[in-house]
Each structure stands twice: as C-alpha cells, then as structure tokens.
Amino acid sequence: MLARSLTWALLATALAVVTASPILAQDQGQDLGPDQGQVSSGEPTSQRANRVVQPYIEVSQIISAELTPGDEVLTFTQLAAGVDINVQGRNSGAAVSLRYERNIAYGDDSVDSDTLSGIARGTLAVIPNTLNFEVGGLASRTQVDGSGGTTANPLVSQDAESRFYSAYAGPSLTTRVGAVDVNGLARVGYNRFETDAALVNAQGDVVDVFDDSMTYLGQLRAGVRPGDLLPVGLAVTAGGFQEDISNLDQRVRDLYVRGDVTVPVSPTLALVGGVGYEDVEISSRDALRDANGVPVVGNDGRFVTDSASPRRIAFDVDGLLWDVGVMWRPSSRTNLAASVGRRYDSTTYYGTFTYVPNQRSAFALSVYDGVSGFGGSLNNSLAGLSSDFEAIRNPVTGDFGGLVTGSEGQSIIGGLGSARSAAFRGRGVRASYQRTMGRTTAALGAGYDRRTFIAAQGTVLAAVDGLTDESYYVIGGLSRQVGQSANITTNAYVNWFDAAGSNGNVTALGGSAAYNQSITQRLTGRAAIAVDYINSDFTAQDVAFATALIGLRYNF
C-alpha cells in the first residue's frame, strides 16, 4: 500500500506536466535557481529536447559474489520497469525518474525482493510569473547499522535493506504591489523510513529509528529594493516550520519574524543585515513502560509512545535573532550570499555560492544550519533541487544515489546521515561540480553533515541528548558517448559515518561501470559490474560484494 501511494506521489509531477502541455511547449525562460545540471542517465541519447518522456522495461541476469567474509554466490533475474521524464517550459518544468524492480533469486537461502526508487521535482505555473505550484518526491533504499547510521546498499536480500520516502507539495507566490515585492511559499510534506528488524547498538540498547513525520513550512516576505523608495533596501519576513514526528510524538516548531536591510556598496556588492524575534521549541512524550519501568518496544523495533504521558520540553529558545553578511553578484554567472549571526541561542553560519562560467561547467556550494527531524532534512534537500535534471543511477542495482544532473549544473540530495528518531540541530556543507568535455560528462558531489541530537530529560531518548553524529560523503559519475549508438558510464561513492556515544564508525565505498549498446532504435544491450565494501564497528568482519549484470532494455 505504501509503495503504491509513493508511486502516485512521484507520478504527480508527471501528471501536472502532461495537463499543462500548452504552457510547457514554450522555451525555458524562468530562472529556476543555482542547483541545476546535466549528465547521461546511462543509455545512449541524443541532444536533450525540451520534452522527453521515456518509459522502458528491462530484463537482466545478475550474479553477486560475496568477497568477504564469506564466499556465497547469489544469482538473480531482475525485471524492471520505469519512466524518465523531463519537460521544460518558460514558466513550468518537471523531471521524474521512477523505477520498479523485481529481483527473482535462485536457491533455498535466497530471498526475492521488490524495490521502488525514484525522484521527482516539478513546478507548474498557475499564473505565469506570479503563482506556482511545486511538488517533489523521493523513494530509495539504504542499509542501516547498529548506530542508526545509513550507508549505501549493495544488491543483497530484502531483509538487509531499509527504505525511505519523502514527498512535499505547495504553492509559491512572487508578485509586486506598487514598489513592494511580495514573496511567499507554503509546503506540506510527508516522510517515512522503513526497516525490517529492530536495531541494537554495541552496548545492547535499542536504537529508536525514525518512523514517519509530517512537515509544514510557510513564509511571507515583503520588501522594497535599493533605490526604489530609499537608498537602501528594506524587507520584513515572517515564517515558521513544524515537524510532527511519530516516534514518541516529537514536535519541532520554529517561528520567527525579522526585518532586513540591504546596503549597496557597488553595482555588484551589497552588505546585508537583519534582526528579529524567534520562538523555537522541541518537545516529546515518553515511552510506555512495563511494571518494572522498562520501556516497551513494539514489533517494529521502535519505542511505543505513552500517549497519556505529559509533553516534555527538550529545547526552548525565544528572543533575539540577528545576522550580518554580504551579497556579491559580479555577473549573472556568479552569485555569493554569506551570513553569520546568532540563532537557536548560539552562533550560526549559512550561505550559498554558485559559479556557472558556461554551459559546459557548473559549481555550487551551500552551508546550512537548522533544527528538524530526519524527515524535515529530507524535505528540505528535495525542495532545493531544480525541476530540470536527470538522475544518476547505479547501473547494476538501479539505485538512486543522490546525485542529479541538468542543463545548467548539477545538484546533490546528500548523505542520509543518522536515521535516529530524535530531533536534531543539523549543520553542514555540500558542494557539487559538473563539467562536459566533448563527449564526456563528469559530475561530483561531496558534503559534511553534523547532527547534534535534542531530547527531553526524563524520557527514554534522554541518553542521546547532546550526542553528535557526523557523516562525510562523496558521490561521482562519469559518462562518455562512444560513436553514435553506445556509451560508457561509471559511478562511485564513499561514505564515512561516525556515531558519537556508541563507538560506532562505518566506512562504505563502491564503484561501478556499465556499457550500453543500441541494437535497434529501441532495444539496448547492457553489461555492468560493481563492487561494494562496508567496514563497520558493528560487524565482526568487513563485508564486500562484487556484482555483474548482463541484460536488455527496451525503450517505448
């Protein structure tokens, strides 16, 4: 039921595009933001058009050999069906990559598996240049260890993987009332993380893994530009964010109002500053306890919430917020915005930098700081994508690893980091770079994520309050066209995860290469190989797999 619901969530973008075809028939003209890019999706393609709808089916034979610690060999027949959509117009656009796989294994100890993966992002112009409706969806899988950390998942049995889903939708407004610019947005999101077994850390304690959450975000900003009424620009912004996490009925609420001033220094440089008021609160209930006071764990391995227990405050800050910074835009290809200030009762840093010197290369960097749960972090990453991209997938497993490419650059969803249920303050940096060199296109994404968990004293999550999990990740992809009817693609990833408080470190890395050869106009032959390696403090030995694939793909 959930998989079917998420399938429709991912296809909602495609439906919006199809119904808006008269608008999308125009050339693209809207600036969709800095996080855009381009790379091959793994099959021979011609130059990208403004409208691409490519459904396909695949059948492949796969052999996966355990290199360490054992020598088990598994054989799979993989049946897959999917669709890649990219439709761009002047004010609207959408991109969808959706794939369903059925792995049919052989042998008494083998387990069949079903996998749904995909990413979708779209913007529909309800009123061109004024009112847009945005939608996005994400479905993928990962592997989670005893610390709650997530790593990339090789092709293994269904009981060794976890699945996560994220979707959001909402309108955005851009208009002008006299000399005043008015901007607003509203979003509602849903997030879910599924795991098949309870997690226990090295000390034998249950790790409460995120289940699901609803997120709500709204913001309204009104301002005047420098020179319109005054030599400086002025703006007032009010907004809020809330995430309701099902685990222990946690709630993250962040409300604020602020005023900002922009002081031009030169035609390309401005100083900016803002001051305002914030009210941030994180709270939860306790777990249900048995007669001996031991927390009750449900069949899903998560703590059972005591709905009758009082709500307990884990974090409560209200008062002054402020920040100062610079905005620098020497050309339409270079843009920098950086600020430092005080929020959440401590120092905060955030900013973005984009550099797109030409159509062949693009670089993007962002620094972030905020409070949320696991689901809110997923929603925010998804909403940061443009609606013009192609997803880079593992050519053997078909998994989406978080890196997408498009026509003006590329972007990264980023590492999942910790899947603990507790709310956290997340700070980090992510960067992405893409370059096209003739028939070759290369893309690279990297990032660092630091999560300091926030939990109420007197509850079962109190032990994680103040603990910090850190993760580093690098994702890369390269594609080269060979002649007119073939291409070669390679992908690689490295993840490092450090779970504080449990002596849990995990290193995961892997690489893959694939060759695709057109047999007819619609039929393509495929061959690929991949290697995945995991070194975890929660297993006695390292784990490594080598996987090979040979198959056919038919494009409708």
Digit-coded pLDDT (tens) for 16-66: 333 333 333 333 333 323 232 223 334 433 334 478 899 999 999 998 888
Give me Rg for the CA atoms of the chain. Answer: 24
Q: Are 69 and 438 in contact (CB under 8 A)?
A: no
**Residue 416 has what pLDDT?**
64
For 138, the 3-state DSSP assignment is strand
Report the sign of the C-alpha dihedral through residues 311, 316, 319, 321, in that order: negative
Domain that holds residue 353: 2-215+329-555
DSSP state letter for 304: P
Q: Kindly state the percentage of the chain with pLDDT values over 90.
A: 51
**Residue 220 has what pLDDT?**
97
In a domain, residue 230? The reply is no
- Residue closest to 115 by CA, chosen among 143, 94, 84: 143
Q: What token pair was written down for 385?
A: 């994508």
Highest mean pLDDT pick, 158-162, 276-280, 295-299: 276-280
Please report, rounded to a whole number, the percentage of residues in the chain having pLDDT higher than 70: 81
Strand 334-343 with 346-358, pairing: antiparallel
**Interatomic CA distance for residues 225 and 120, integer angstroms:** 34
Tell me whether residue 444 is in a domain: yes
What is the helix (H) or strand (E) element at residue 6, kind and residue range? Answer: helix 2-19
Q: In the prediction, which pLDDT does 412 show?
A: 62
CA-CA-CA-CA torsion sign (68, 70, 76, 80):
negative
- Provide the terminal-to-terminal Cα distance of the chain, rounded to the nearest Å: 27
Distance CA 453, CA 472 (A): 18
**Mean pLDDT confidence for 471-499:** 89
Does some domain include residue 308? Answer: no
The answer, yes or no, to whether residue 262 has pLDDT greater than 50, is yes
> Minimal CA–CA distance to 518: which of 493, 484, 485?
485
Residue 75 binned pLDDT confidence (cut-offs 50, 70, 90): confident
Mean model confidence pLDDT for the chain: 83
Structural domain includes residue 243: no
**132 backbone dihedrals φ, ψ, rounded to 5°:** -115, 155
The answer for residues whose C-beta is within 8 angstroms of residue 387's C-beta and 6 or more apart is 13, 32, 88, 93, 94, 95, 121, 122, 123, 134
Asked whether residue 436 is domain-assigned, the answer is yes
pLDDT value, residue 327: 96
Let me know if residue 142 belongs to a domain: yes
Dihedral sign for Cα atoms in the order 343, 344, 349, 355: negative
**Which phi-psi region, left, alpha or beta, contains residue 293 (left: φ > 0; alpha: ψ -120 to 50)?**
left
CA gap 374, 26 in Å, rounded: 38
Report how many domains make up the chain: 1
How far is it, in rounded angstroms, from Cα 339 to Cα 327?
9
β partners of residue 251: 244, 283
The two tokens of residue 480 are 């080269």
- As a whole number, mean pLDDT of residues 131-160 equals 67
pLDDT in the model for residue 20:
35
* Residue 447 amino acid letter: G
In the sheet that holds 390-393, the strands lie side by side as: 390-393, 400-406, 409-412
Query: Over 90: is that where the pLDDT of 242 sits?
Result: yes
> Could you tell me if residue 229 is inside a domain?
no
CA–CA separation, 24 and 19 (whole Å): 10
Phi, psi of 301 (to 5 degrees): 85, 5
Amino acid at 440: T
16 within 8 A of 8, measured Cβ to Cβ: no
Cα–Cα distance for residue pair 143/158, rounded to 1 Å: 10
The model's pTM is 0.84
Does residue 202 have a pLDDT over 60?
A: no
What is d(CA 122, CA 23) in angstroms, rounded to the nearest whole number?
14
Average pLDDT, integer, range 368-396: 87
Strands 51-68 and 206-207: unpaired
pLDDT band at 91 (very low <50, low <70, confident <90, very high): confident
Q: Please check the confidence at residue 198 and state whether its pLDDT lies above 70.
A: no
User: How many residues are recorded in the chain?
Assistant: 556
Give the bridge partners for 503, in sequence order: none
**Which of 55-64, 315-324, 393-402 bottoms out in mean pLDDT, i.e. has the lowest?**
393-402
User: Is residue 239 situated within a structural domain?
Assistant: no
